[in-house]
Chains A and B, each alone.
Chain A
Amino acid sequence: MSVVEGSEAVAMAIKACRPQVVSAYPISPQTHIVENLAKMVADGELDAQYVRVESEFSAASVVSGASATGSRAYTASSSQGLLLMTEVIYASAGMRLPFVITGVNRTISAPISIQVDHQDTMSLRDSGIIQLYVESVQEAYDTHIAAFKIAEDPKISLPVMVCMDGWILTHSYESVAYMGQEEIDRFLSPFEPEHFLDIKNPKSWGSYADDNVLMEFKYAVHQAMQDGKQRIREIFKELSLLTGRDYRGLVEAYRTEDADTIVIALGSVSGTVKESVDDLRSEGHQIGMVKIRCYRPFPFEDIWEAIKGARRIAVLDANISMGSEGAVGMDLKAKLYGLKNAPLLVDFIAGLGGREINKRALRNILQQLDTVGKKPPFLKEPNWVGLNPTLFP
């Protein structure tokens, strides 16, 4: 066990995965990751081409081009930087290029802020990039190693983004158990794609397609996501065996077996929710939580398995689809529609721009659930947690 900064743990994981090309453009709070990697290259500990680009748009383009040429590639970004990469990520998923990005979660302007929420990564949810959210520094370390294996699986072959909360995870120190290089090499084989830019076997990539075939391309990406769920479960299982830490699958269910009420969350807030669950359980509430580890592909089957016995669900969305609701709430409602005995589901917008979600906020959410009663809650959704009413006329 070493006590390390979250960003350093991520850099250690990336180094151990032996990327051949790393590209970097600074944006807080992502910077420490690529700075650590730069130092490793400078010290000769990591044998990779390190490309210092002039924008996030180019950072994503460099790793995409490297991936298309058959090299394992990595970059990281946050917030506006991820938005600037958006066009590249859509196209890379369409071309089935399996690189890994760390999406260090940070809110989006305006107002400009460097604090954490999930608006940035959620805005990429439709692009075809696989999204894995992590709760702790240890989970961030382990998940990055799984990310390459998932991305490069021939049946999947899509970019993967490991989403980790800025500051809370990137800049905090935790004790982390590193794996040995040999173990990682056994777990993650070298990247050997079947198709790549190869002068011995020339192929054309990124062609023009119209109504004759475009829909089939999009279907193939969607299907790779859908079929990929099983593969991701298997890879997480292998990761569990390798690490001795429990990564049972796409979601983590915490004290849900007999739960009447379940809170659904992603990312670092899950730890707070678990503690609240313990507190509330000791007071007699039948409450549990579900942490979504893999958000795209959306693991509804796994979530359903955990929530089907519950009467009501509170979703914590650290994002808002302006003029509608939070993304995770919408996803779940869409899937629950028409299901027999679907639980009542209420969407809460919480923690935008780094506003703290603490145990008191969670008690507050629970009280709101109690007042919902039998009335359809969706009429006034979403519910904003902890808004300051004095700021509005």
Chain B
Amino acid sequence: MGKKPYQKKEDYFVSGHRACHGCGMALAVRHILRATGKEVIVVTPTGCLETFSSPYGFSPWRVPWIHHLFENGPSVASGVAAALKAQKQDSVRVLVIGGDGSTFDIGFGALSGMLEREDDVLYICVDNGAYMNTGGQRSGATPLFSSTTTEPAGKASMGKRQIKKDLPAIVAAHGIPYVATASSAYLRDLREKVKKAMTYHGSRYIQIDTPCPSVWGFPSDQTLEIGRLGVQCGLVPLFEMEEGQIKTIRKIKQKIPVESYLKPQKRFRHLFAGKGGSEALRQIQALADRNIEKFGLLN
């Protein structure tokens, strides 16, 4: 008999799911729901989270939860919010927790529509930077020079040729009251941001960096460490925007080179072997430096 898994009383995402070992997303979701409490209805579009949390007959969700399709999380949530309004259930809140594929790519139109309508929904993107559920294909959230199964590094390619879509900025341009980025490596920060977002009504957006040991290619006990390195090197800036203004920035103690973050990950292995890698690393470092400059991460 093993020990009973650690479970807090206020957990509404509990054991019984089948996420991979070390899944940053599962960890993030548990803490998201700790921050929201139980008076929420959660909508999850198709993706890792939906697949690993809903094998029929088992459910780790202790709040009402619905998966509908890949591209309609925001509009299903709009429908839920409209129904709650019609029923005058003011205390019940609506939450979407979707992956980067559904958020950055296929559901992007629906997300924009929901934001433009100012529907009373907190949209959380748990972002692992590719379509991990189907084996690691490129998404609009995939970082520059990451090797994916549909845009692999090879003799004639360094992997993904474009930078990650700047979704927080695009979302913020809709004029919504709260936009934040978070990381599953900084759980207190994550919970505080979710709590803050819950104090607002209207559309709100949080994007959470959730490292994926399976496809990023690092040992499954390194999830927190990899997440921290991403933040510390400047590639994953953590900030809050309220009413369109940057309100908080999580500073980094000292600038660490992007190599420290990239080297332990299989998806960037090609950058450290053979020609072209150093130029690619220079470009990635420039992205980190630009973030450090833009958000004032160091001073």
**Residues on A close to B: CB < 8 A?**
20-21, 23, 48-49, 51-55, 57-59, 61-71, 73, 87-88, 91, 95, 197-199, 201-209, 212-213
Contacts and interface: CB of A to CB of B under 8 A. Distances in A.
Contact of A204 (B59, B84, B86): B59
Given A68-B66, A205-B67, 20 more contacts: A21-B79, A49-B82, A51-B82, A57-B110, A58-B72, A58-B74, A58-B75, A61-B68, A61-B110, A62-B76, A62-B82, A65-B83, A68-B79, A88-B69, A95-B68, A198-B64, A202-B64, A203-B65, A207-B57, A212-B56
Given A51-B117, A197-B64, A61 B56 contact: no
Given A54-B110, A63-B79, A197 B41 contact: yes
B59 A58 contact: no
B219 interface: no
Among B43, B59, B63, B66, which residue has the most Cβ atoms of chain A within 10 A?
B66
B285 interface: no
Contact of A197 (B72, B80, B110, B117): B80
A205 B41 CA distance: 11
Nearest to A59: B75
Majority secondary structure, B binding face: mixed
A240 B53 CA distance: 48
10 contacts: A53-B113, A55-B109, A65-B77, A66-B82, A69-B41, A69-B84, A202-B64, A203-B65, A205-B64, A206-B54
Contacts of B71: 57
A202 B79 contact: no
B165 interface: no
Contacts of B110: 54-55, 57-58, 61
B78 interface: yes
Interface in B187-207: none
Nearest to B78: A62
A199 B64 contact: yes
A57 B67 contact: no
A64 B82 CA distance: 11
B72 A61 contact: yes
A59 B79 CA distance: 9
B228 interface: no
A87 B66 contact: no
Given A65-B79, A208-B55, A54 B109 contact: yes
Given A54-B109, A199-B39, A64 B83 contact: no
B56 A209 contact: yes
A204 B113 contact: no
Interface in B72-114: 72, 74-80, 82-87, 92, 109-110, 112-113
Interface in B15-69: 38-41, 43, 50-51, 54-57, 59, 61-69
A160 B64 CA distance: 25
B97 to A, nearest CB: 13
Nearest to B18: A208
A206 B56 CA distance: 9
B56 A91 contact: no
Contact of A65 (B63, B76, B109): B76
Contacts of A87: 69
Contacts of A70: 83, 87
A20 B87 contact: yes
Interface string B135-155: 000000000000000000000
B54 A208 contact: yes
B39 A213 contact: no
B242 interface: no
A58 B82 CA distance: 13
A128 to B, nearest CB: 14
A288 to B, nearest CB: 44
Contacts of B38: 199, 202
Contacts of B113: 53-55, 58
B42 to A, nearest CB: 9
A91 B119 CA distance: 23
A12 B166 CA distance: 46
B259 interface: no
A307 to B, nearest CB: 40
A372 B285 CA distance: 78
B78 A199 contact: no
A59 B59 CA distance: 28
Nearest to B82: A49
A208 B51 contact: yes
**When A and B form their complex, which 3 residue pairs have the shortest distance between CB atoms, in order from nearest?**
A65-B79, A54-B113, A69-B83
B47 to A, nearest CB: 11
Nearest to B59: A204
Given A21-B82, A57-B75, A52 B117 contact: yes
Given A58-B110, A65-B80, A199 B41 contact: yes
B86 A21 contact: yes
Nearest to A71: B83
B62 A58 contact: no
B17 to A, nearest CB: 11
Contacts of B67: 205-208
Contacts of A213: 56-57
B58 to A, nearest CB: 9
A199 B83 contact: no
B133 to A, nearest CB: 11
A16 B100 CA distance: 42
A58 B114 CA distance: 9
A73 B79 contact: yes
A20 B82 CA distance: 8
Nearest to A68: B66
A189 to B, nearest CB: 16
A376 B202 CA distance: 65
Contacts of A54: 109-110, 112-113, 116
A95 B65 CA distance: 13
A246 B111 CA distance: 46
B79 A61 contact: yes
Contacts of A205: 64-67
B132 to A, nearest CB: 16
A48 B55 CA distance: 35
A69 B93 CA distance: 12
Contacts of B109: 54-55, 58
Given A65-B75, A69-B79, A206 B85 contact: no
A59 B109 CA distance: 13
